[in-house]
Structure 1
Amino acid sequence: MTDAKDTPPDRLSNNPMSDHYEPALLERGIGICFKGKERADVEEYCISEGWIRVQAGKTRDRHGNPLTIKLSGPVEAWYEDVGGG
């Protein structure tokens, strides 16, 4: 039985400039499954809206931040220290 502290938030980002950045949660490690495949390159995700953001190659914006693309589809998330998938 999982409890609320073992369920990742609906939306989370690893970018410190984002409103959805929470370093304490990221330290636990987040596993992401997108369209049935485990992904390790996810920059941000939203389970309820069904999308992830991943880096678009080595391309950078004018501020030096990596460009990201938004991919739509079913998203599952879990904490690595609990297991899941």
Structure 2
Amino acid sequence: MSETSPDRPALPDRLSADPRSPHHVKEVFAHDVGIRFNGQERSDVEEYCISEGWVKVPAGKTLDRKGQPLMLKLKGKVEAFYK
């Protein structure tokens, strides 16, 4: 469900909000992106993959040893769209 227009790039199959990730696309984040996971819109998604059917969300306030939020991988139907 990736709507494209002249000012919006196509949404990739896999996208990460972390700028250090190779799956981070800066041009996409210039616009407001929404994620629908299993029919419900979620605002806490840090990374998604549509073809593999998963999202990564933070596990509360838990941090890993590098100080980054600990991520949970949830499997289900993923849809990305521009708001």
Higher helix share: 1
For this pair of structures, how many residues does the alignment match? 79
Following superposition, the deviation at residue 6 of structure 1 comes to: 5.6
Residue 33 of structure 2 is aligned to residue 37 of structure 1? no
Structure 1: state its 5+ residue gaps.
81-85
Counterpart CA distance in 2 for 1:74 and 1:33 is 8
Out of 57, 60, 65, the residue aligned to residue 62 of structure 1 is: 65
The residue that corresponds to 2:14 in the other structure is: 11
The residue that corresponds to 1:46 in the other structure is: 49
What TM-score does the superposition give when structure 1 sets the normalisation length?
0.85
Following superposition, the deviation at residue 16 of structure 1 comes to: 1.3
Question: In angstroms, what is the RMSD of aligned CA positions?
Answer: 1.6
Following superposition, the deviation at residue 30 of structure 1 comes to: 0.9
Q: Give structure 1 regions of 4+ aligned residues with deviation exceeding 6 angstroms.
A: none
Amino acid at match of 1:55: P
Q: Which range moves more in the overlay, 30-39 or 4-13?
A: 4-13
Structure 2: state its 5+ residue gaps.
none
Counterpart CA distance in 1 for 2:4 and 2:20 is 29
What TM-score does the superposition give when structure 2 sets the normalisation length?
0.86
